[in-house]
């Protein structure tokens, strides 16, 4: 393969981002959840900052954030309470939609509810790896760590493709099963209609014979 082509592929793969940043507001005691779909054995890293939106009262609010993660089978993968700035991570054990829920401990018996804004940055797969730390631990130079990063991203892309193919196969099987059931149901309806017509004709024929009309 041409060296320029290899270099272009390398550049494109290195530019691919496996993460995104979002933010949303959380009232005191409120829980907000969202779904994150990933293949099996995928690392997800979340970095967050909890911002206090309340007017200053002279007494600092003791803000804390609780995170709970469950997999498609409702199995709990992560449950922890942290401060206003931090990170959390987990590795998927099965592919599918993982439910990530956030809540705060900021609630009041009297007065308005405490309001916060959660800034969240999610990174998955190769994007969740700390390559600076890996380079220090494994004593890798810049070229070796670049190759390592590229290899991890290629593996992540393959994993995503395999997962999507599995989903496509499941969808195809479901569609074929549904079509088969529709066909058999239609045939059953035809059989019932024919049987009903035959029964009605026999019944009418017997009725006319009894009345000596035929």
**Residue 113's CATH number:** 2.60.120.680
Given 128, 159, 176, which residue is the final one in a domain? 128
The arithmetic mean of pLDDT across residues 54-67, rounded, is: 73
Query: Is residue 2 a part of any domain in this protein?
Result: no
| Residue 81: inside a domain | yes
Q: Which range of residues forms the domain containing residue 116?
A: 19-128
Q: Are residues 38 and 112 in the same domain?
A: yes
Same domain, 87 and 164: no
Cα maximum dimension of the chain: 106
Domain shared by 149 and 96, yes or no: no
Count of domains observed in the chain = 2
Q: Mean pLDDT lowest for which of 55-59, 101-105, 173-177, 199-203?
A: 55-59
CA dihedral 87, 150, 97, 69 (to 10 degrees): -20
Q: Residues 121, 158: one domain?
A: no
Structural domain ending residue among the three candidates 128, 154, 185: 128
192 inside domain: yes
Same domain, 34 and 104: yes
Residue 1 lies in a domain: no
* pLDDT at 104 (0 to 100): 86
Per-residue pLDDT for 70 more than 90? yes
Residue 93 pLDDT > 50, yes or no?
yes
Q: What is the pLDDT of residues 116-156, one digit of tens each?
A: 889 999 888 766 677 777 777 777 777 876 787 777 787 77
Residue 205 has pLDDT above 50, yes or no: yes
Same domain, 110 and 150: no
**Are 108 and 28 contained in the same domain?**
yes
Checking if the pLDDT of 99 tops 90, the result is yes
pLDDT over 60 (residue 111) = no
Q: What percent of the chain has pLDDT over 70?
A: 77
Q: Comparing 5-14, 76-85, 188-197, which segment has the lowest mean pLDDT?
A: 5-14
């Amino acid at each position: 393969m041409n060296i320029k082509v290899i270099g272009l592929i390398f550049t494109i793969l290195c530019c691919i981002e496996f993460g995104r940043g979002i933010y949303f507001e959380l009232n005191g005691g409120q829980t907000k959840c969202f779904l994150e779909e990933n293949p099996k054995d995928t690392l997800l890293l979340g970095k967050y900052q909890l911002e206090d939106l309340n007017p200053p009262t002279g007494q600092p609010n003791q803000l804390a954030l609780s995170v709970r993660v469950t997999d498609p089978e409702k199995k709990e993968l992560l449950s922890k309470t942290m401060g206003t700035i931090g990170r959390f991570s987990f590795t998927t054990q099965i592919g599918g939609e993982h439910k990530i829920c956030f809540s705060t401990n900021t609630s009041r018996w009297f007065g308005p509810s405490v309001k916060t804004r959660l800034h969240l940055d999610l990174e998955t797969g190769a994007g969740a790896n700390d390559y600076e730390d890996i380079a220090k631990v494994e004593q890798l130079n810049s070229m070796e760590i670049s190759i390592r990063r590229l290899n991890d991203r290629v593996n992540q892309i393959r994993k995503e493709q395999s997962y999507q193919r599995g989903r496509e196969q499941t969808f195809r099987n479901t569609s074929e099963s549904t079509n088969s059931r529709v066909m058999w149901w239609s045939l059953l309806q035809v059989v019932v209609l024919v049987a009903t017509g035959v029964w009605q004709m026999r019944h009418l024929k017997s009725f006319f014979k009894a009345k000596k009309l035929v």
